[in-house]
Structure 1
Amino acid sequence: MKSFQETVSTLMVNNFEVTKDINALVLMDMSTEELGKKFSDALQKDGWKVRTYLMEDRTRSGEEPPQEAADEMLKYDLVFCLTKHSLTHTVARKNANTHGISVITMPGITEDMFLNGAMSADYSRVEKETLSMTDKLTDAHMVIIETGAAHELVIPVNGRNGVPSTGVFRGKAASGNLPSGEAYIAPLEGEAVGTIEINGSISGIGLVAKPIVLTIEKGRLIDASGQSGRELLELLGDGDGRYLCELGIGTNHAARLTGNILEDEKAYETIHVAFGSNHTFGGKIKTNVHIDCVTKNPTVNWK
């Protein structure tokens, strides 16, 4: 197993096309401060010009960072977001990309994840398989997900483009997760219908103790069973956060299902649906939440 320093060094060589004259920022929060500083120190030891910025924890994925943090992101060429909750689907991230800044989001990252699992994958393989799955999503008119004994969720995607998250970042304004390996798409708002059994994990909640069933009508989550379902509804609120906003498919052969959504949603034999914002990747929903729900071993039908 590689050391932390070796892992960071390999990452910067294999997954990025940048030179050491750029300015980098490690954005962290109270929950990730220790690991954020360790990551920053590892970058500095390799000769990268890097600074850190500490912000307060967000309460859920998709919530905007403080304005001061969003402004700080605009001062650098490359920003690593080592935070408790995801900044991927935020205006702050999208705005930084618009200014030519690359933003790598690493919500819930742990030292174990740096050294094992998805981060240790062969990213040339991950990139190839992710791009292939992305094309499949783009070409689809609808995707039908079958789970459990009798659950079927019909998700229309006609006219929407799939989005690759390969973990390989080239050029300016690159964006995505690390570790990575998923292809995803914004479904047509207000059209998905059916039920889906979630037997993996939920962002902000972790592994589900027992499968929960989500019921969706006209693209909106109207019911979620069990204790984890009640927690999910509370995280989403009563507004536009209830709309189905994403369908994603894991494409990382080394990813594990551990309860950490950053890695869980990348694992083979999983799909995830999300509720909340999707305006950052081709949809129309703009709200202050984005919660992913991972299920393993589904049957995926393409039409």
Structure 2
Amino acid sequence: MENGSSVGTSLVLLGIYEMEEFKYLYSGSFLALYLSITMLSLMIVFVILTEESLHGPMYILICNLTLNGIFGTSAFFPRLIYDLFSSSKTISYYGCITQMYCIVTFTYFEICTFTIMAYDRYLAVCHPLQYVILMTNEKTLKAILGTLATTLIAVFIAVLLTSRLPLCGTQIKNIFCDNMSIVILSCVDSTANNLYGTISATSFLLVTSLVIAYTYFKIFLVCINLSKDGHNKAFHVLVTHLLNFSIFLIGLLFSFVRYRLNSANLPLSLHVLLSITRFVYPPLLNPLIYGLRTKPLKIKIVYHFSKISMIKNI
């Protein structure tokens, strides 16, 4: 594109070309992965919703985390599977903007959920006697809805700023659309986008990281002074949450790094690899880790599986 028109333009996803040779293998593998993530996540959601004993703040947050995982992977995998299977390498401008909005929303809301979960565990471990008052189901839902509304507004502003940019290129070095992929195609000054993105992302990550670091540090201090049994339980909670959050941060860090490396010298295949991690590992491992490491939830899952087995044997 030599001029500034954007609307009605088809953008080319160069990452699809990298997968063309083994497209059926990739599309089949991604389909199996997407179905696995969806089924595991829905199983967690179903068990939490149907078991009254699990209707507590921690399980509401686990349910929210797995639902967000479904949302994030659904914004990514179906389109990728279709593109690979049909050998389609283009996406409409509006389709690209929509996918970008969903992906960024998933990323921000995932971090928000981890932050609320860290605060919830901090109250449970450090203030056990006041926990039922400080962290009720109603307060948990308000925190979830509040962070979701803030995320939607913040991402909408970013998308609005990006959508006003006329594009002088159509080739995206990725297999999906994200904000920076479109911004770098702009043929006008994108200082406003970069400034807003830097300030909002830095502020967001700084606040959430400080909250998570503080709560985990306080939990760790309490763990040291607890009895052996209490120490093991608290440490178990700490490790579970840190493991999940670390997995997500690694994927996010990859996405951050890829735009700050010299794109001209960075192989396209590495671009793809660095981008895909946050859509694979966290949504897949979250239900597995919480299903296996959260004992009450694990017991209920086993119970439901045993009921299904009994029905099949009748």
**The two structures share one fold, judged by TM-score above 0.5:** no
Which of 1 and 2 has higher RCO (CA within 8 Å, sep 6+)? 2
Larger radius of gyration: 2
Q: As a proportion of its length, which structure holds more helix?
A: 2
Alignment TM-score, normalising by the size of structure 1: 0.26
